[in-house]
Chain A
């Protein structure tokens, strides 16, 4: 008998609430199929785009004869091409994602976000892929549209365990090099890496004309640092540990941390990367609905 896996990251209630919303692309997409997103190419949709003079080699079926009858000149009628999008869910599975304050781990929260978005995208006929990594690529599921593929994504998500160190920089550069056509890249990570290098990655992705969005997973405890007793801080990615009296370093820590947040946030905006701070304690609905609505409004953060 096949074992039925419990998938905590799938929340039917959340899917029901968000089910009416669609995931819109902010840039032209290049999909393999017809879809709901604008393509940079002219296509055969019903939406008229422009007239242009006939040139040798054009399909004579596209000549607008009514215009020829009026002007005795050959014009070709062009239409917008609608296509589907290919979304890459870049999922950080390093040890640091296993951090939890009083709520779920960042990893679990990210699982929920990935699963929900994947569901929504497949539901609207788009392709979804999953790139799980830590210091190397753990799983690389290319974008597919089929429900079967969605199931494979769920399976993969369920099997993943946060561990090891992060090498987000290399992963993103590799990904930018690998994805040949315009796609949506959604990154789920705590982004505890060098901000400048991260911005370089986003610049690379932007240059490739990808629509990039980041979900910055930060726990409340990391932001508030409200600890009292002396603590031995153990690096979740296997690095050096540190004994400190939180009270004595809280000020400096918060200053450094907030500076980092601001620097990263500003860096994202400057490279047209959509930024969302995802705090596990605040629930998935808020951050996802904000993401979806923003896109629906076509607004840029």
Chain B
């Protein structure tokens, strides 16, 4: 339990002893009286002493408790406070898991304090009341490294422990804590987890939690989990995120298309001022919103010969400043080429799908494998292999191509038990009336949902013939029977994709294009990244991203990769934005957390909002007022109650 006025509480607490003091003074201030019938007094005292003492103690207890609750009520108690729930008293080490992710930038009602600052303040307040000798270790969501704290005051350092634009994985943080406990063996521990309960940070469905839970049970140390949840979300929040950038050459014009998404957690028509920055030139764009989300493409006219630049989109300040910025950058114009190695009739369809006539930015050509050997193979963004055999020399070249960042898509072969690119070992060819695709990754990969959030019609694909692969790598889509439809294997900077069917009508209706077209487009786009010196990444702690030079963004940050912005490292440009999952609004509930920490000592304090805090405080006041009344009533009853005496007439 915490108090809004703790000082007042400590001032009033001594008054609790007042009834005892008065009682003692009264006992000392007795009146002497000569008495004749002493025997009766002694007998009465002897027989009533036990009851009288008990009654006296009860009366005094009631009075003291009434005063104590009055003191507590006046000190404005908060129910289930973090102090009350966090403090168990017998822990030797407190490991603070500090969520510094972008979503923790949410400000309180005053607009001054974000969730990281608030959680730090609560931790410091609690730590001050811990027994001396308690050790404090902090593991923050960005570095995941345990740092021993001399005292919790250093948590106030905004550079080391301030909010970042990086994501957070509670699972990784708890895992880091486990590693620390295992290595340091710090005795009984409490894990204080600060969180905004974001579902994406917790991923309660993950199987890793069960493993972690079991690991913690096997520790010698007793570990208690205390969750400090700050789940309040601003009632009106807008966010912006950059979805893609594309440099297009349309005849003589060069256009930079930036697709961005503006989202908000409320509805109603609204005109939003969008600040646009391109290479330092700032303009304002007005957009009208009626729905909760708007996907829009902004076109910048680039000067001929523009070798690259950067910019940002930003929204006016609101209660969650961490999601009001989106950064982008672009490099010089690159031609996107796709090579299709196929002797099948449907190769023309593949060429069309890889470079749609009105796409305006890519080319495709159907080649024989011999011809490909003569070409500069690394100039291709994507190579599609739709042929049963491969020459050894070309195979080695293609492996090098992939390792250099190229994308290679291989369609099912016709030769059983063959092997390609040292990675793909094919199995039997199977036929059926129809193989339905039951599951596919809609978040990442070539079959991911569109920017508008629409799913590709993968489930409608009709596959009649398929060739299974023995070691599929990462499965991106699978049939209803669990066999892989599309899988990928990372190799160096590039990726080999394997599709278990092909465009032949005898095999599937993939030729219809509804799935094929976006799939190839995305693979081409992915393959083009190797030509660019611009890298789009999520803000994170990464040693390889040390020594970044700030082109756009917060120049004062200590670890720059933790903050969104545009950075340069040698000849490469890094665009760092907060991870998309940080915009998720879904929250994990207490029940799920209890399940995660099942079998361990667990408590959760949800400091959801200041308004609720007042409610809680008020509710507690009523409770204390009720307790005071109860104890006064009991006291009154005990005071007035006398043993009934039968009158005896002599």
- Which residues of A are interface residues toward B (Cβ below 8 A)? 95-99, 106, 190, 192, 216, 219, 222, 227, 229-237, 239-240, 242-245, 248-262, 264-265, 275, 277
Contact = CB atoms under 8 A, between A and B. Distances in A.
Contact of B30 (A98, A190, A231, A277): A231
Interface of B: 26-27, 29-45, 47-48, 52, 55-56, 642-650
B53 to A, nearest CB: 9
Contacts of B643: 251-252, 255
B375 to A, nearest CB: 110
Given A97-B36, A255-B645, 15 more contacts: A95-B36, A106-B36, A192-B36, A192-B37, A192-B39, A216-B650, A229-B26, A229-B30, A230-B26, A233-B33, A236-B34, A252-B43, A257-B37, A261-B650, A262-B649
Contact of B33 (A232, A245, A253, A275): A232
Given A230-B27, A261-B648, A256 B35 contact: no
Contacts of B646: 255, 258
A250 B37 CA distance: 13
Contacts of A250: 44, 642
B45 A249 contact: yes
A256 to B, nearest CB: 5
B34 A244 contact: no
Contacts of B55: 248
Nearest to B43: A256
A38 B60 CA distance: 68
Contacts of A95: 36
A219 B40 CA distance: 14
A275 to B, nearest CB: 8
A252 B35 contact: no
Nearest to A234: B34
A252 B36 contact: no
B44 A252 contact: yes
Contacts of B52: 245, 248-249
A68 to B, nearest CB: 59
Nearest to A248: B52
A261 B37 CA distance: 12
Contacts of A234: 32-35
Given A232-B33, A265-B650, A254 B38 contact: no
A256 B38 CA distance: 11
Contacts of A264: 650
Contact of B38 (A233, A261, A275): A233
A99 B35 contact: yes
A278 B27 CA distance: 34
A141 B257 CA distance: 138
Chain B residues touching A, majority SS? mixed
Nearest to B52: A248
Nearest to A222: B37
Contacts of B647: 258
Nearest to B42: A242
A245 B30 CA distance: 9
Contacts of A258: 645-648, 650
14 contacts: A96-B36, A99-B35, A229-B31, A230-B27, A232-B32, A233-B35, A236-B38, A242-B42, A242-B45, A249-B52, A251-B44, A252-B45, A252-B643, A258-B647
B37 A230 contact: no
Nearest to A219: B36
Contacts of B27: 230, 243, 245
Report, nearest first, the 10 A-B pairs whose CB atoms are least far apart: A258-B648, A252-B44, A96-B36, A253-B44, A251-B643, A261-B650, A99-B36, A252-B48, A248-B52, A230-B30
Contact of B650 (A219, A229, A277): A277
Contact of A230 (B31, B40, B42, B44): B31
A275 B649 CA distance: 13
B482 to A, nearest CB: 83
Contacts of A231: 30-33
A251 B31 contact: no
Contact of A253 (B26, B29, B40, B650): B40
Contacts of B35: 99, 233-236
Nearest to A235: B38
Contacts of B650: 216, 258, 261-262, 264-265, 275, 277
A57 to B, nearest CB: 53
Contacts of B42: 240, 242
Contact of A251 (B33, B37, B39, B642): B642
B38 A239 contact: yes
Given A99-B35, A250-B642, A256 B26 contact: no
A258 B55 CA distance: 24
A198 to B, nearest CB: 13
Contacts of B644: 251
A253 B38 contact: no
B544 to A, nearest CB: 82
Given A249-B52, A251-B643, A256 B32 contact: no
Contacts of A253: 40-41, 44
Nearest to B26: A230
Contact of B48 (A249, A260, A262): A249
A259 B37 CA distance: 13
Contacts of B29: 229-230
Nearest to A258: B648
Contacts of B44: 249-253, 255-256
A256 B578 CA distance: 87
Contacts of A255: 44, 643, 645-646
B636 to A, nearest CB: 14
Nearest to A239: B38
Contacts of B30: 229-232, 243
A231 B30 CA distance: 5
Contacts of B648: 258-259, 261-262
Contacts of A248: 48, 52, 55-56
Nearest to A194: B39
Nearest to A233: B35
A7 to B, nearest CB: 25
B635 to A, nearest CB: 14
